Structure 1
Amino acid sequence: MKLLLTALTMLLPTFCYSLPLDKITLPEGFNIELYAEGIDNARQMALGSKGTLFVGSRKAGKVYALIDSDNNKQADKIIDVASKLFMPSGIAYHQGDLYVAEVDKIWRYPNIEASLPEIPEPELVFDELPNKSHHGWKFIAFGPDGQLYIPIGAPCNVCESKPPFASIIKLDLATKNTTLVADGVRNSVGFDFHPQTGDLWFTDNGRDMMGDDLPDDELNHVSKEGQFFGFPYVHNDDIADPKFSNETKAKLNHKPALKLGAHVASLGMEFYQGKQFPAEYKNTIFIAEHGSWNRSKKVGYRIVRVELEGDKVVNSEVFASGWLQGEESWGRPVAVLTMPDGSLLVSDDAADAIYRISYKN
């Protein structure tokens, strides 16, 4: 019999709506409301098959389970699944199990929804990831091939390093073998798989300390495993790094599908597959921009929508904004997640909140 751990279960208080959601600007017909607040440093989200929302954190070192027991589109219970972990930002739900990524380890909580509020004893899945905390926090997801995709950021602002640093790998859970999916990736904290082709698309944060406007963050498309995406030698299309050079590697640079702007800190992304939003939103990409920290005038702090035709970006526009007011920010979007009813959840690690964006004619 598996050991079950005692979990701390709390009833969430009635929302006081202390956050200025009236500042958020959305397209006509859309509405934003709180799904949960008081979720310390909310990062990646994953939805269980029974409707439990799991949320990772980075600074808090915690993983949460949120339950909407009365189906009113707001969580009313919070369960501490884990605590005192090493930046457990990344989580994934797969075939009944919850996977949690620390910087250097992957854990599995088997059949977790069956035992809640009791927590099953976690099983160590993989412990061969680097233990460097700089860009070491993860965003994880299972691909169409059933393997677990794991980005491993560069352990620096800019430096020469070898995989698995500055890469995206995938882990075969049965064999524990890893495969290099993308190289030259400075720091990806968000990706998804194209609903038609199954190809991996990911966001990547550009390097710092090259001024306000260089280089751009990127939206990238992996059309073939093992492609090289420039870091640290070349940024975006053709911006040579001022310190590091390698002409042979630079020629292999796979150009971004879209340049997102410098320092916007593009993080979580998802292809929208819901049915609630207008038809033109189907298969478009939502990207959470966490916002700049080393720019003279702040940028980001918003949700961007990207439209594709096949594998080509044909349009990008701001979908939700208002977390940044002038030079003061009250929230920082991290990740997005489509719910079964077609609404879109957004996590915010600065306001410690989860928002629900819905549409009504």
Structure 2
Amino acid sequence: MKKSTILRWSTCLLVVLCQLGCSSNSGKPDANEEGERTSTAAQDTASENVTEQPATDADLAKISLPDGFQISYFARNVVNARSMALGPDGTLYVGSRDKGSVYALPDRNKDGKADEVITIASGLNMPNGVALRNGSLFVAEISRITRYDNIAQNLKNPPKPAVVYDKFPTEEHHGWKYIAFGPDDKLYVPVGAPCNICLRKEPVYAAISRMNPDGSGLEVFASGVRNTVGFDWHPTTKELWFTDNGRDLMGDNMPPDELNRAPKKGMHFGYPFCHAGETLDPEFGKGKDCADYTAPVQKLNPHGGTLGMEFYTGAMFPENYKNQIFIAEHGSWNRTEKIGYRLSLYRTDAQGKGSFVPFAAGWLQDGKEWGRPVDVEVMPDGSMLVSDDMNDAIYRITYTGNK
């Protein structure tokens, strides 16, 4: 082959390689500068298209994350891991639903991995929710809240629990609870609707209530909430934000799950009359007006199984993640095409405009799930934990890129 021909082919090859290597956000369609791809619709099913990250574990290698982020296991064999709460000494407490157990996961040497999985309690009735206050662990079952005092010093010999409150409804349908103490030092406890769609006279149903730490003074804080399994308070405004699962049997794409904001007591978020601020229920919406109820801040994936959420308050992630909301999407159970099975991000810009984007995805592969995210927890070092009740694991997400 003549030298001139070789030179021409070499030049063409260099041009092609340059184009591939220099193109912005290569392989990330519609990606923003953080490497995230904005969901163009609430029912976004192609949201798993973000940058894949290297991982030594075969399953973790399936998880895609924005550039600079890594995922690893904080703990495995945490059977049916659900809601999480962090103790002041760094011990992670984890509830379960179907397993009926509550776990403690200490990380004494602070290496980002749990030293062991300790079962604090077993044989409980769907102890999904856990919360910490003044050294005591509060556990939410279907109809009661119990308290384990001085828990950190007695992980392997926990005290007999004290009953804080035992008059919640006994229905298991949407009866499992996420609990947390608010800035007002009250314990917030939701009770979901005991059905897909129904109207119960008792105000405690389909509502978020709150009580004093000793169980006294129970009152409804927010109504019209079908089933929330995750909420948090804004770090600056101290306003309550929560996720809510939309009703079933209105089609694959109706209604969407919701992200809501409740800055004050007494607000009604529509259920069972109006869904997502705009759709009257075919049965209970007759004679109602959606304008009478509070619309969601953001519509989320329909039937996405939206559960835990938390504001990011750490310092490890880049600054543009500060005070933004991470949301665990457990995944759909009855949708024709499965959706969710990921960790998403609700981000607001300087003008207050919000966007709903995927952050970590890959637990759903070719229509088959191998994991289901449930809850998120920001750690003191700025890393973030994600629980998974299908893979029986707690993942740890870290950032090692340039800020």
Which residue in the other structure is 2:295 paired with?
255
Change (3 A) 1:19 1:349: farther
User: Equivalent pairs: percent with the same residue?
Assistant: 51
Which residue in the other structure is 1:101 paired with?
140
1:331 Cα shift?
A: 0.2
The answer (yes or no) to whether the contact 1:306–1:313 under 8 Å persists in 2 is no
Candidates 212, 215, 218, aligned match of 1:178? 218
The answer (yes or no) to whether the contact 2:277–2:290 under 8 Å persists in 1 is no
Which residue in the other structure is 2:72 paired with?
33
- Deviation per residue, 1:334-357 (Å, 9 max, x gap): 000000000000000000000000
Structure-1 separation of matches of 2:351 and 2:227: 22
Change (3 A) 1:151 1:84: same
1:246 Cα shift?
A: 5.1
Structure-2 separation of matches of 1:316 and 1:250: 23
1:237 Cα shift?
A: 2.1
State yes or no: 1:61 paired with 2:100.
yes
Structure-2 separation of matches of 1:50 and 1:262: 38
Q: Kindly report the root-mean-square deviation, in angstroms, between the aligned alpha carbons of the 2 structures.
A: 1.5
Structure-1 separation of matches of 2:366 and 2:252: 17
- Unmatched runs of 5 consecutive residues or more in structure 2: 1-55
Structure 1 runs (4+) deviating above 3 angstroms are 246-251, 309-313
Relative to the length of structure 1, the TM-score reads 0.93
State yes or no: 1:281 paired with 2:321.
yes
Which residue in the other structure is 2:128 paired with?
89
Tell me the SS of whatever aligns to 2:131: strand
The answer (yes or no) to whether the contact 2:164–2:215 under 8 Å persists in 1 is no
State yes or no: 1:157 paired with 2:196.
yes
The answer (yes or no) to whether the contact 1:30–1:357 under 8 Å persists in 2 is yes
- Unmatched runs of 5 consecutive residues or more in structure 1: 1-16
Change (3 A) 1:111 1:297: same
State yes or no: 1:190 paired with 2:234.
no
Structure-1 separation of matches of 2:82 and 2:63: 20
Q: Write out aligned runs for 1:1-361 (5 A).
A: 20-162=59-201, 163-174=203-214, 176-245=216-285, 247-248=287-288, 250-309=290-349, 312-361=352-401
Tell me the SS of whatever aligns to 1:307: strand
Relative to the length of structure 2, the TM-score reads 0.83
Structure-1 separation of matches of 2:345 and 2:312: 10
1:72 Cα shift?
A: 2.0
Tell me the SS of whatever aligns to 1:28: coil
1:250 Cα shift?
A: 4.4
Letter in structure 2 aligned against 1:358: T
More strand by share: 1
1:172 Cα shift?
A: 1.3
The answer (yes or no) to whether the contact 1:218–1:259 under 8 Å persists in 2 is yes
Which residue in the other structure is 2:23 paired with?
none
Change (3 A) 1:132 1:175: closer
Tell me the SS of whatever aligns to 2:386: strand
Change (3 A) 1:93 1:313: farther
Structure-2 separation of matches of 1:311 and 1:144: 26
Tell me the SS of whatever aligns to 1:261: strand
The answer (yes or no) to whether the contact 2:197–2:272 under 8 Å persists in 1 is yes
Letter in structure 2 aligned against 1:301: Y
Q: Which has the larger radius of gyration?
A: 2
The answer (yes or no) to whether the contact 2:376–2:386 under 8 Å persists in 1 is yes
Tell me the SS of whatever aligns to 1:280: helix
Tell me the SS of whatever aligns to 1:77: coil
Structure-2 separation of matches of 1:118 and 1:50: 18
The answer (yes or no) to whether the contact 1:88–1:103 under 8 Å persists in 2 is yes
Letter in structure 2 aligned against 1:196: T
Tell me the SS of whatever aligns to 2:292: coil
Structure-2 separation of matches of 1:313 and 1:216: 19
